[in-house]
Amino acid sequence: MTQNIYSAAAEKKHKLGPSQIVVYIVLLLAFFFYFMYQLIPWGVAQFVVPLFSPSGEQLTKMGFVKFNGLVWASTSKDNEANLQGKNLEIKREYINREFIFDFTYQERNDAEHGYVKGKNEWYAKSPVMGEHPIILEPWVGFWILALVLAVMLVTFISMILPSNIGVMAVLFDKQIENTKTKIRLQTGFSDDIVQVLIMPDDKLAEKDYMEVEQYFRTVWDRTETEELASSKHHYNFEDLFDENTDIVRFRNEILYGRIKEYFSDFVVKEIEDTKDGLIWQRNHLLFGKGLRLYMAHHFTERYSNNVTGMAYFGAAFLIVAVGIRGLKFIPATKPSFILLAIFLEFTMLTLLAVTMFYTEEEERMDKMLKKMEDANRSQLETLKGQQADIHQLANALVGQTAEIIRSRVETAISDYLTSDDNIKKVVAQEIAEKILIGIKDQQVAKATKK
């Protein structure tokens, strides 16, 4: 009952709520519009203008002036000295219309400005680009780039925010608890032992020595394999652990090594990453530690196939866009749809690369089978020990009828030990029921004779 209450409280504590979602959406929208109206226009201008503006001999024949906003245009040499550095609004009489670069969200007309551009269009004209100007539509070609940049930045911010308002922070906290549960289920260790195994080094060093020794001994005995027991260089726990032992070093080098050999590399990786997650909990600026735990032990396990599918979808979309462009249905002067396809595929491939970066390496199959064999052998030895204890209990309970009940118990245990499925069940409970049945049958038999 206590465990259920604790689980419910932990689930409630690490559940996404309206506060985290609202903060995330507000920040996402704010950064998205900032990128669309400020950062991306500036970035495109910094990329395009230096590449296609007049240079060298061309600048000896004409001037090139920056106007108010992200607007550049060529002009005569006479006008250049009067216009340079004054940040004026572009006008028809100022320019010669050979080079024009306008990355603003303002509408232009030929009569006033010398060229035509819509409010949601960017204009680029240069002899190097061809005879006709290039029209870019940012809400077609660049919105996905702005969205991805906004998601990345807001996600990063939510990692370092407190858990009560940070989406990623609460997801990291939840993953720490989930991974602790996975370690406990995979190893069979108690919550206290798991807590000691994942505890940050400085916290472990502060723990009571006698308490830690007890937990370490349990882990040592549980991870004893047949190969280690029969080895010529076999060590007992007392041979390596005494009052002078550095408990942090002992855990990180010896116990982790035994867990790795007995269970798997993946279990040790879970322990180490959860330990890093606890370090992130104390200092959210160390977001990389929390990110590795979440990505390696949740995102890649659950969404890797989805990410791969999206990458293929992005590639298919890009192929279609390029094919349509090849058929001349997308004019060279309006390449926004092609840019959309390129940025979409770039985003999907980047996400796929990040997912693969955090994906854990698979363990060799022969090592996995050997560890499964050791684990099953350990379970059988435990069941045999329980069988001996039950024999003693039967002798104490029924005296002369012990032989009858022992026979029933041995038959029941034999049935369960020969079935792989039944080994996984609660053997002790089933055997106890058979003991009660045997005692009851014996009492009925005595009453019948009387």
- Domain contains 148: no
Structural domain ending residue among the three candidates 310, 340, 358: 358
pLDDT at 97 over 50: yes
| pLDDT value, residue 421 | 56
Q: Three-state SS for 71?
A: strand
- pLDDT above 50 for 219: yes
CA 140-107-92 angle, to 5 degrees, is 130
Q: How many folded domains does the chain comprise?
A: 4
Element (H, E) at 136: strand 134-136
Higher-scoring residue by pLDDT: 450, 336: 336
Instruction: Indicate if 434 and 390 belong to the same structural domain.
Output: yes
In a domain, 218, yes or no: yes
Given a cut of 90, whether residue 109 has pLDDT beyond it is yes
pLDDT(1) > 70? no
Q: Are residues 185 and 280 in the same domain?
A: yes
Q: What is the pLDDT of residues 229-246, one digit of tens each?
A: 555 556 788 888 888 889
Please check whether residues 179 and 255 belong to one and the same domain.
yes
Instruction: Give the burial string for 376-401 (b: 16+ CB within 10 Å, else e).
Output: eebeeeebeeebeebeebbeeebeeb
Residue 344 pLDDT grade (very low, low, confident, very high; cuts 50, 70, 90): very high
pLDDT at 383: 56
Contacts of residue 30, Cβ cutoff 8 Å, sequence gap at least 6:
none
Is there a single domain that holds both residue 176 and residue 290? yes
Residues 6+ apart with CB under 8 A from 442: 398, 401, 404, 405
**If 0-12 CB within 10 Å is exposed, 13-18 middle and 19+ buried, where does residue 170 land?**
buried
DSSP conformational letter for 94: G
- pLDDT value, residue 361: 74
**Mean pLDDT, range 69-93, rounded to an integer:** 88
Rounded Cα–Cα distance for residues 205 and 60 (Å):
74
Last residue of one domain, picked from the residues 279, 294, 309: 294
Q: How many CB atoms lie within 10 A of CB 64?
A: 19
- Give yes or no: residues 117 and 133 share one domain: yes
Q: Which of 366, 369, 375, 368 is nearest to 224 (CA)?
A: 375
Model confidence at 332, in pLDDT bands (50, 70, 90)? confident
Q: Is residue 307 domain-shared with residue 401, that is, in the same domain? A: no
> Do 146 and 40 form a contact (C-beta atoms < 8 A)?
yes
Q: What is the mean predicted confidence (pLDDT) over 179-193?
A: 92
Same domain, residue pair 370 and 258? no
Q: What percent of the chain has pLDDT over 90?
A: 56
* Residue 421, in any domain of the structure: yes
Share the mean pLDDT of the chain: 83
Last residue of a domain, one of 141, 157, 184: 141
- Out of 203-212, 282-291, 375-384, least confident range: 375-384
Decide if 150 is inside a domain: no
- Tell whether 95 is covered by a domain: yes
What is the pTM for the complete model shown? 0.74
255-313 tens-digit pLDDT: 999 998 888 888 999 999 999 999 999 999 999 999 999 999 999 989 999 999 999 99
Determine the straight-line distance between the first and last CA of the chain, rounded to whole angstroms: 46
Q: Is residue 304 part of a domain?
A: yes
Range of the domain at 322: 296-358
Q: Is the pLDDT of residue 163 over 70?
A: yes
- Evaluate whether 219 touches 189 at the Cβ level (below 8 Å): yes
